[in-house]
Each structure stands twice: as structure tokens, then as C-alpha cells.
Amino acid sequence: MEYDNLFIQSDIEKEGNAQIILDQLNDSELRKGKVFVFSNIQDGLWHFVRVNETERYMRDQEVQVFDLVEGENKIFAFLKALGDEVYNCTGDEFAFSTKDFSEYETFFFMVVKSAESEFAGRKLNCYKEFHLSEEGFFYFKDNPRSRYKSDWFIN
């Protein structure tokens, strides 16, 4: 009897492509033209991340890779509830243009849980996307609960 369908799996677990992602991440040539997203959320739950038109299901401490497009790119972290995309701090996609960052060939982001959303006078946790420098991304990936340098955050 198979029990695989009883457990919720992230896309990395389903596709078994963790090593491919790590190989791309660790090779400066392979990572060109990519967007890497690190999930630094401490809730043990799964969430969705969409970069441009590609949506992935992620868990805490996972890294996913997406293709970068020339011009405008969008990233959005969220949950789904009754068909709606919820739990994002702003409700809007984080947009950036490769034209504004012509010195970069690879883009790095981190998704965190933040207490920024408010409902009925109470602060609620929500997902927020941060654009990071390469140094900051690798530091957070290896030390997810550590202090940070403010210059690691690009915008």
C-alpha cells in the first residue's frame, strides 16, 4: 500500500530536484539568468511562491529557482484559501526590472513571515519578499536565524 499521497510535499520533494537547484546555486555560470528564492519562515507550514508566471509550493528552509525575464519580473509569496491568494503583507507582487539592476545577472530573494498586516486592531503575521545581495542570500541560507547587515537588502 502506498502512503505518498497522504503527506503534503513541497515541489522540491515531489520533483526530487534539490540537487539540481543546489548545483545551479553553487555554480556562478549556471545561475546566470535565474531568480533564487529562499524560504526563511519558521512556521513549519507550506506556502506558494510565484515568480512571473511560475508558481512553486515551498517549505521552510527550501531554495527554489526560477527563470529571470528581461525587463519586469514579479515575485509573490502567499497561501491559498477558498481559491483566493492570501497571507501576503501587501497583497501586491514585488516587482523589479532588470533594467534597474543591469549589473546583476542573478537575483536573490528571501521570503519571511512578518507582523505587518492588521485586522480588527490586531497585528497578523504575513509573508513578505526581500531582494537580497548575493552575500546576504548565502549567509541567510546557511544561518537562517542569525543577525543581518542592512546593506544585504537591496530594495
Tell me phi and psi for residue 60, to 5 degrees. -60, 140
Q: What is the span of the domain harbouring residue 26?
A: 10-142
pLDDT value, residue 125 = 84
Residue 47 lies in a domain: yes
Comparing CA positions, the residue from 35, 15, 38, 13 lying closest to residue 24 is 35
pLDDT in tens, 105-119: 999 999 998 866 566
User: In this structure, what CATH number is given to the domain that contains residue 124?
Assistant: 2.60.34
pLDDT in tens, 30-70: 999 999 999 998 777 788 999 999 999 998 889 999 999 99
Residue 99 lies in a domain: yes
